[in-house]
A = this chain, B = another copy of it.
Amino acid sequence: MSDQSGGLYGVVLAGGTGTRLWPLSRAGHPKFLHPLTGTDASLLQATVQRLDLLAPLDRIFVVTGVAHAAAVSRQLDAIPDTNVLVEPSPRDSCAAIALAAAVIARRDPQAIMGSFASDHLISDKERFTEVIRKAMVGAQQGLLMTLGITPTRPETGYGYLQCGGEIGDGPVLGVEEFKEKPSYDVAESYVKSGNYLWNAGMFVWRVDAFLSELSRQQPQLAAGVSRIAAAWDSPEREEVLGEVWPTLPRISVDYAVMEGAATVGRVGTVPGDFGWNDVGDFHTLGEVLAADPSGNVVVGHALEPEAKSGVLLRDTEGLVVVPTPGRLVAAMGVRDLIIVDTPDAVLVCPRERAQEVKHLVDELKELGEHDYV
């Protein structure tokens, strides 16, 4: 048992761009750094704040890439320097999570760790905290716990968890299979059946249980991460990271570990219902933030009054408007549009086409307009 049993180590993955949130989210200033939370906190900061009833700040780790290490460190200025884990290059989620697990295991071999995306919104923090505590009970028993969201619609943009009956000693359901993003009809049948949850990509486990499954299923990755962890507190850390990291396979933790663990009965879930939203696009963002009486959502408005970030709406309905400091967005006589203004680009499109914004990013890349991507 851990010397601090009952506590959680929180791992926040600060990676990914979020091209459907272009032009706000850019390769150089990705989604998680932006205040899309309805407060002045960035998604990254809100993710850490959400863990405050579960983990003290010295147990919060963040894994990020070289491009955003500085911005991430500054936004999370209350966590220790040593808890900022910088990947030399992107190697997908399994390597990132395994690195954090191995580093935490050096401090506390049976620590319970929770892994969280840095770019989701959760509206009910108390309920979230309760669900994590329940998941920790399953984790304590050696299960790899994944958080499942009770689906509210036949969403085709998420993966699903196929659940079985209760397992272990708590309110934990066994996860029989991980399902990839389904077609609409399949998603509808999932939702009707009541046996499927959205896979929200949040995990809770004992680090030893995870590292053991990693060794079983991904021995090369486990060995590499183990070498890196052994050198972590030595003068050789950078040398070893530089040598080993590029050799690690690029693979998501779902494919690499969770699917295989589910088939041998080692994955559990606690159905969650805490206002989860992946903030995948501006339409979704508009559904989760507070709207004015006409249904217009102004993201981050009045956060920086001194910066003169202004919005003037006249006879508009259902807009999602993202203004930028020092500039004015004026709209009149339009409805259900997304208007996103940034220091060097502005986007206008209907909310119903929010998912297609990523195609604009593809088009800009093809045109060689890398400054805007």
Contact = CB atoms under 8 A, between A and B. Distances in A.
Nearest to A327: B344
Contacts of A326: 344
| Copies of the chain in the assembly | 2
A95 B371 CA distance: 51
Contact of A372 (B23, B310, B337): B310
Contacts of A41: none
Residue among A337, A346, A371 with max Cβ neighbours from chain B (10 Å): A346
B314 A330 contact: no
A341 B349 contact: no
B350 A330 contact: no
A323 to B, nearest CB: 9
Interface stretch (A179-187, A190-198, A358-366): A358-366
Nearest to A341: B346
Interface in A323-360: 326-334, 337, 339, 341, 344-350, 353, 356-357, 359-360
A163 B287 CA distance: 60
A312 interface: yes
A24 to B, nearest CB: 12
Given A333-B353, A334-B337, A337-B334, A328 B346 contact: yes
A347 B347 CA distance: 11
Interface residues on A, range: 35 or more
A308 interface: yes
A6 to B, nearest CB: 50
Given A345-B329, A348-B348, A371 B334 contact: no
Given A23-B330, A332-B357, A334-B337, A310 B369 contact: yes
A310 B345 CA distance: 9
Nearest to A361: B330
Contact of A360 (B330, B337, B349, B350): B330
A339 B348 contact: yes
A310 to B, nearest CB: 7
Give 6 nearest A-B pairs by CB, closest first: A328-B345, A332-B349, A333-B353, A331-B348, A330-B347, A346-B346
